[in-house]
Amino acid sequence: MSRIVRYDPFRELRRIMWSGFPLMDDDLMTHGSSSLLSVDAYEEDQYVVVKADIPGVKPDDVDISVSSDSVTIKANRNEEKEIKNREYIRKERYSGSVARTLSLPSPVIPDEAEATFIDGSLTLRIKKQLHNPSKQVQIKVNSETNGH
């Protein structure tokens, strides 16, 4: 399956200009660093679930912030030391910080968020804020008719 890419008249120019900088890949320049943090988000009965793939990152290097209407995930992937005498053919593995903020489809309770991190995959389950129960109100029916 091929990916549809919006036409960019300056794509070739950027490729030539940045050819000496391996981290300035065309996808990175086009899509930004958020493309390096892939996420899935969906709703379950009482939870909003966010899953993110963050390979090569330790759990201590992940920072998660939850508000009632959004989630921010930040991660820091440390670069391995580059060997001076090694001539790289390609150097594509990303190192540095990535961050992603998602707006949530339902209000949540930030204090009731739970995160698990297994084999580079983060799963965040956040309890939805339950709406107040319906309030019942008695309404008097007017017995007078006004022509309606």
Domain shared by 106 and 54, yes or no: yes
Q: Note down the domain range covering 11.
A: 7-36
pLDDT of the residue at 142: 67
In a domain, 72, yes or no: yes
Structural domains in the chain (count): 2
Domain shared by 45 and 110, yes or no: yes
Tens of pLDDT along the chain (148 residues)?
556 667 777 777 776 665 554 444 444 443 444 446 889 999 998 999 999 998 888 899 999 999 999 999 999 887 766 667 788 787 777 678 888 999 998 899 999 999 999 998 999 999 998 875 445 565 667 666 655 5
- Within 10 Å of residue 128's Cβ, how many Cβ atoms? 18
For the record, the structure tokens of 8 come out as 């960019």
Q: Which residues contact 77 (CB under 8 A, 6 or more apart)?
A: 54, 56, 57, 61, 94, 95, 96, 97, 98
Domain shared by 104 and 66, yes or no: yes
